[in-house]
Structure 1
């Protein structure tokens, strides 16, 4: 089958739209206490340079919008000249930032800032310029060939790649359990069902890590066409690296390996040992097992008692600009299983073919 040149641009558009929604949510989190502050709505535009700020805050604002500019620049280049795509991507990013800063006027927990707007706009521009510089890479036949060789065709492959990227994003939140997504208790205002007990909690950790690794591994095996074992091991290694880096940066450097508990270690080992032989199972059975494991892990996450250590860690990193990041990763973590299940249940005319792992 000849590769379709329309697929990569469509995937870029999906990723750009998904990241835009995440930025929107993160900017307005926690969506409570809406009221007019009494100040002029656009006073932040002409406000003087803030007395107290750090270059880390500025870098955070630039970094948050850099992927936005990159994704929109890459998506728009499929249909527009390179520099027009850069200009439009900048307009989208700056317009989004302006809208979010304006709406933050009505949120007591947020403070609109022209410095934030400038940092966001700069990040968007740098990302769009990076996309323009990489235009040859995006349009390369080698990239399309790689996509068609490694990833299943059509929307299923595109959606699957986005799911895996979002799953990696959840690993940036140090307050969630290892591979434990779908915790809806905060969203629904529910309390933990059980009191914390170290031994009991360790067993729950093991179950969540094992079921989560097993479900994600089977899902990823349906996205890939070949070399599944090496690719899956690389995926899990990357997830643990991301989690360690996030904990070191957002909590404390000596907490980089806070996830390496006896419960998580056992769960990761059990999950991988169960996963590897299942890669040779028929595709339909792999989907059923992945969905079952995902549901099981989600139930365990919502039954798990509150871990005092994770609560203490959360208090350290949710302050300031991390409130944006916390909201973004928390939302992604809550919704991820419910985004993955429809993909697992999706029926296509051409079922997944079993290939050599």
Structure 2
């Protein structure tokens, strides 16, 4: 089109697009069990997708809208990296279409899944709509406005932290045993390792050790519950502080994070238990904990970024240690069952894996930050 390609910038859209693509892949191939070659089918037959005649409105809209964010994120990431309009648009349409085709073909090998040319067409159309939406945001200079705001508020090399902060409220939508208690992946990981090592002769000792590990059987003390909620809010706030210079902007982010946490937890409870129970998460321990976390965040706002990064590592480590001791109460178990057996099965992997892995991903990013970028006190 004869235009000058934009200057290259490290955009948070790039890691977000990669994470979203991985989660789409997970949701498309869930539950990842029962893999087998379809009886009587050759490879050429598997590569040809059928156009199934039935119409399910929920599936139609989910297939269309599910790929829209991926197209938009890829377009924005491509444009911010320096690609011109036409190559960026082609990339944002072709890559999701290839991903969708690959997952549809892979569904041939999963019992109960039905590869569909209609699904591929809807996925591709959704990605194309997302790419056009991303292009419109560029033409309206919304992306440039965001970049200018980011330059004023955040330091260089902040793309990873911003991507993690954007994913944090999504992880809160997955039902947690304690408000803001992200990172409870230990029990599921132990179950997976136990199944993997079953009947493996050389790993019998490890299997016996894992199988004999005690399950949390008692409810957390109110003080421990408050600690989980406090650390669950303080962790992402301190993560944000590592990419923001000391000052009033940190206080604004801390207050915004508190409001976002309240909204996300209310929405999560509403989705799991119904509108009449939307505020059930506001226990006597949760509300004071939110206030304490916000107050601590304000007090820590003047600290340097390197010191804040170290504190954030300590906070997130304490969070996952406390959450590991939290039992799955009956309401938590019921909500998990609803997610894994109902319509949320198409999307539960998105929030589930973010909720499980977010603290560990944040700790990994903080470690790389401490090792690579000394605090300049900008």
> Does the pair score TM above 0.5?
yes
What residue number does 2:133 align with? 130
Q: Where does structure 2 lack aligned partners over 5 or more consecutive residues? A: 1-5, 192-209
SS at match of 2:184: coil
Cross-structure match for 1:28: 29
Aligned CA distance change for structure 1 residues 44 and 324 (closer, same or farther; 3 Å): farther
**Residue in 2 that maps onto 1:233:** 255
Aligned match for 1:194, one of 205, 210, 216? 216
Q: Which moved more, 1:34-43 or 1:141-150?
A: 34-43
Q: Which residue of 2 aligns with 1:151?
A: 154
Task: State the alpha-carbon separation in 2 of the partners of residues 204 and 67 from structure 1.
Answer: 38
2:237, 2:253 within 8 Å by CA — same for their partners in 1? no
Q: C-alpha displacement at 1:244, in angstroms?
A: 2.4
Q: Separation in 2 of the partners of 1:236 and 1:313?
A: 24
CA contact (8 A) 1:179 1:209 kept: yes
Query: Are residues 192 and 208 of structure 1, via their aligned partners in 2, closer, same or farther at CA, if it must alter by over 3 Å?
Result: farther
The 1-side partners of 2:49 and 2:224 are apart by 50
* Larger Cα-atom Rg: 2
Q: Report the counterpart of residue 8 of structure 2 in structure 1.
A: 6
CA contact (8 A) 1:192 1:303 kept: no
Q: In the alignment, which residue of structure 1 is the partner of 2:304?
A: 282
- Give distance in 2, aligned partners of 1:192 and 1:50: 48
Deviations 1:273-312 (CA, angstroms, capped at 9, x unpaired): 2222122233333222211110011011111111210111
Q: Which runs of 5+ in 1 are unaligned?
A: none
Task: Please name the residue that 2:93 is paired with.
Answer: 90
CA contact (8 A) 1:196 1:306 kept: no
The answer as to whether partners of 2:161 and 2:243 remain within 8 angstroms in 1 is yes
TM-superposed CA distance for 1:338, in Å, is 1.7
Alignment RMSD, CA only?
A: 2.7
| 2:356 paired with 1:353 | no
Q: Cα offset for 1:352? A: 4.7
In 2 relative to 1, CA 285–48 (structure 1 residues): closer, same or farther, beyond 3 Å? closer
Higher mean displacement: 122-131 or 103-112: 103-112
Contact 2:47 2:105 in 1 (8 A): no
Q: 1:110 to 1:12 in 2, by over 3 A?
A: same
How big is each residue's C-alpha offset from its partner over 1:206-234, in whole Å with a ceiling of 9 and x where there is no partner?
22111111222111111223511112211
Alignment TM-score, normalising by the size of structure 1: 0.86
CA contact (8 A) 1:37 1:106 kept: yes
- Contact 1:16–1:71 (8 Å) recurs in 2: yes
1:43 offset after TM fit, Å? 8.1
**Alpha-carbon distance, 1:349 to partner:** 4.8
Deviation at 1:141, TM superposition (A): 5.1
Partner of 1:224: 244
Q: Deviations over 1:128-159 (max 9, x none)?
A: 110111123568654432111101112xx111
Cα pair distance change 1:270/1:120, threshold 3 Å: same
SS of the aligned residue for 1:96 comes to helix
Aligned residue number for residue 228 of structure 2 = 208
Distance 1:279 1:207 in 2: 20
Post-superposition offset of 1:160: 0.8
Q: How far apart, CA to CA, are the structure 2 residues paired with 1:138 and 1:12?
A: 16
Indicate whether 1:254 and 2:285 are aligned: no
TM-score, length-scaled by structure 2: 0.81
